[in-house]
Amino acid sequence: GQNIDQPTEMTATEGAIVQINCTYQTSGFNGLFWYQQHAGEAPTFLSYNVLDGLEEKGRFSSFLSRSKGYSYLLLKELQMKDSASYLCAVYTNAGKSTFGDGTTLTVKP
């Protein structure tokens, strides 16, 4: 089976940097995705990592270490609109994807 862990809640200040961690255990790993979900809305894609290392995309970066079963999402220059739930999802080579329970980020002024 697959097991994905991420913190339930985080709080950060506008303009700051926040790192959301995700650890996973899976067989047939074939990629890790991060999605953003605002309350009452569907998830939207942020980034994904297949190989080890850092992927940067504007204010958002995601890191993966396959040997450690670890990823993080880094959000820079936080804005109030970044308050949302951030979902880590593991994709297997069978095509199945499993989501973590999400981290609710609250950005305060």
Partner 1 sequence: GAGVSQSPSNKVTEKGKDVELRCDPISGHTALYWYRQSLGQGLEFLIYFQGNSAPDKSGLPSDRFSAERTGGSVSTLTIQRTQQEDSAVYLCASRTSSGPGEQYFGPGTRLTVT
Q: Strand 9-13 and strand 97-99: pairing?
A: unpaired
50 lies in the binding site for partner 1 (CB under 8 A): yes
For 54, the 3-state DSSP assignment is: strand
Site string for partner 1, 62-91 (x = CB under 8 A): -------------------------x-x-x
Exactly one of 48, 55, 74, 83 binds partner 1 (CB under 8 A); that residue is: 48
The angle at the Cα of 9, spanning 4 to 11, to the nearest 5 degrees, equals 135
The Cα–Cα gap between 20 and 85 comes to 11
Q: At closest approach, how far in Å is the CB of 21 from partner 1?
A: 15
Chain residues that interact with partner 1, rule: CB under 8 A: 30-31, 33, 41-45, 48, 50, 87, 89, 91, 94-102
